[in-house]
Amino acid sequence: MDTQDQALLAQQAEQLAYLRRILLAPVYDVAVETELTHCTKLSTRLNNQIYLKREDQQPVHSFKLRGAYNKLNSLTEEQCIHGVIAASAGNHAQGLALAANKLGIKATIVMPKTTPDIKVDNVRRFGGEVRLVGNSFNEAQAASIEYAAAEKKTIIHPFDDVDVIAGQGTVAKELLQQLPKVDVVFIPVGGGGLLAGMAVYIKQLRPNVKIIGVEAEDSACLKAALAAGKPVDLEQVGLFADGVAVKRIGTHTFDLIQRYCDEVITVTTDEICASIKDIFEQTRVIAEPAGALSLAGLQKYCQTSKGNEALTAVLSGANMNFHTLRYVSERCELGEKKEAILAVTIPEEKGSFKRFCQTIGNRAITEFNYRYTGKASAEVFVGVRLGGNVDEREQLMQNLRDANYQAIDFTDNELAKLHVRYMIGGKNPQSAEENQNERLFSFEFPEHPGALEKFLAAMGEHWNITLFHYRNHGAAFGQVLTGFNLDNSQQDEFFKHLDDLGYHWQEETKNLAYQAFLN
């Protein structure tokens, strides 16, 4: 038997082992078989039959309970004597707490101090001990490893574990029973446990079913691993879809995904927000960002697909922080292509506003920002609601050009969407010489009580701040836009200071939105 035959036999043995683990996983001691909801409105709109696999219906409102229980059930008595421990700020924490409570095992969950109270309270309600450590997941994870060694506790990994993967694979077992003729399955990706478990099961029973993993564009650790041929660390991950904010795909999960996943789609924050809205309109359930991720990928797939297919997206969780809804509401229309954000130059004269609105026509104006500067013309920042037609935004721009307006489309400009649309202070009033020294920077930092004060203290008082705008999304991160007056002699010291701060930052001085409205 040659090496190739041996490898094939080993792969087949692994497939059978996973199939056996999934079929025998005792997850229904604590989990429930969730519904497969047919989305009639979306099916009509997208010219496909759209289904949602409703993991929001689990007792902890997330699929994570399946893998956690299956892992705990596999432990020996010796491994359970001192209890189990995990670092988590979300669904793994709640799933593990409930699973441990069911089996009579003591569970300790190490969570960042930034974790919303609703999640901390839920872990305690399910019987878990909570230890709040640090202001980030990495700090909590480091602490959990120290606690495990000192207290002889067993660490339960959230995704990169054979038994956890098999537990998550039971979602696929239910799906194929509920919809045997499914054509494409869309599965969210964080560390890869759900995708790996579902893919290895589906491909053995229905190899013609297409498996598509869906990642957040700013947390695409699987896409990076596929490009490198192995798991790699991302320098930075976005925190909006915190349930999939993972810097590195798992080793076990990546090996399975490489073999059984057909395609990976990445989606933007705006597209996720649009899918949260679609799920609510179809089910009256408010999905968390990671929970709506796979539907966002499904909708992107439908833009170029042939149509008339049976498509299923896994609604993986619904543990939404209520305050995040404000941000979702703001961004969902952008994700649906139903709002345009424009910069328009209008004459500074009587009747200008009225003539401009007449050019916009019957479309609803969602916002209009203007400040008098004493010049012959003025820059206005305007939001316009669209009907959803793919060509409508371009038609609006053409109408403005035909009316001799200078207009710039900022609908896809993140600086404009996050900050500029909320800043109505007008142009920089400095002299021309001072204005040349202004540099603009955006920052992102972990959100917690006192976080903004800590940020300001870290920035120090060595540089003159010319502009400042802060946004709290009600989630795990805060956004700051700051202008500094810097001459050439200060720049080396300033950039060294930024690198030493440890915050994610980006220079925005050349961003067109800054040039149009704030400079």
Question: Is position 116 within any domain?
Answer: yes
Catalytic residues: 64, 316
On whether both 184 and 99 belong to a single domain, the answer is no
- Do 186 and 120 contact (CB within 8 A), yes or no? no
In this prediction, the residues of the chain whose per-residue pLDDT falls under 50 are 431-432
- Residue 165 has which token pair? 């993967």
Angstrom distances, CA of residue 341 to CA of 73, 407, 413, 480: 53, 10, 9, 20
Supply the pLDDT for residue 1.
60
Helix (H, G, I), strand (E, B) or coil at 362: coil
Between β-strands 154-155 and 84-87, what pairing exists: parallel, antiparallel or unpaired?
A: parallel
Residue 258 φ then ψ, to 5°: -55, -40
Last residue of a domain, one of 360, 385, 412: 412
Last residue of a domain, one of 277, 294, 324: 324
Query: What's 99's domain CATH number?
Result: 3.40.50.1100
First-to-last CA distance in the chain? 72
**Any idea how long the chain is?**
519
Burial class (CB in 10 A: 0-12, 13-18, 19+), 34: buried
If we measure between CA atoms, which residue out of 274, 277, 288 comes closest to residue 319?
288
Question: Is position 417 within any domain?
Answer: no
pLDDT digits (tens, 9 = 90+) for 318-336: 988 777 887 788 777 665 6
On whether both 192 and 300 belong to a single domain, the answer is yes
Supply the pLDDT for residue 329.
82
On whether both 192 and 254 belong to a single domain, the answer is yes
Question: Is position 21 within any domain?
Answer: yes
On whether both 448 and 510 belong to a single domain, the answer is yes
Domain span at residue 181 reads 3-62+162-324
Q: Read off the pTM.
A: 0.80
On whether both 177 and 292 belong to a single domain, the answer is yes
On whether both 179 and 292 belong to a single domain, the answer is yes
Strand partners, 441: 482, 507
Residue 510 φ then ψ, to 5°: -95, 5
Query: What's 496's domain CATH number?
Result: 3.40.1020.10
Helix (H, G, I), strand (E, B) or coil at 505: strand
Q: How many domains does the chain have?
A: 4
CB neighbours of 69 closer than 8 A, spacing ≥ 6? 26, 27, 29, 30, 31, 95, 99, 102, 103, 167
Supply the pLDDT for residue 254.
96
Residue 235 φ then ψ, to 5°: -65, -35
pLDDT digits (tens, 9 = 90+) for 386-399: 876 767 888 888 88
Residues 3, 9: Cα–Cα separation, whole Å: 10
Supply the pLDDT for residue 289.
92
Question: Is position 419 within any domain?
Answer: no
On whether both 141 and 69 belong to a single domain, the answer is yes
On whether both 148 and 263 belong to a single domain, the answer is no
On whether both 209 and 306 belong to a single domain, the answer is yes
**How many other CB atoms are found less than 10 A from the CB of residue 20?**
11
Helix (H, G, I), strand (E, B) or coil at 410: coil
On whether both 23 and 105 belong to a single domain, the answer is no
Question: Is position 513 within any domain?
Answer: yes
On whether both 135 and 171 belong to a single domain, the answer is no
On whether both 260 and 186 belong to a single domain, the answer is yes
Helix (H, G, I), strand (E, B) or coil at 32: coil
If we measure between CA atoms, which residue out of 267, 132, 134 comes closest to residue 189?
267
Last residue of a domain, one of 358, 378, 412: 412
Supply the pLDDT for residue 475.
55
Question: Is position 74 within any domain?
Answer: yes
Question: Is position 95 within any domain?
Answer: yes
Question: Is position 329 within any domain?
Answer: no
- Sheet containing 365-369: which strands, arranged edge to edge? 365-369, 377-385, 339-347, 406-409
Long-range contacts of 3-7, Cβ-Cβ distance < 8 Å, separation of 24 or more: none
Q: Quote the DSSP letter at residue 304.
A: T
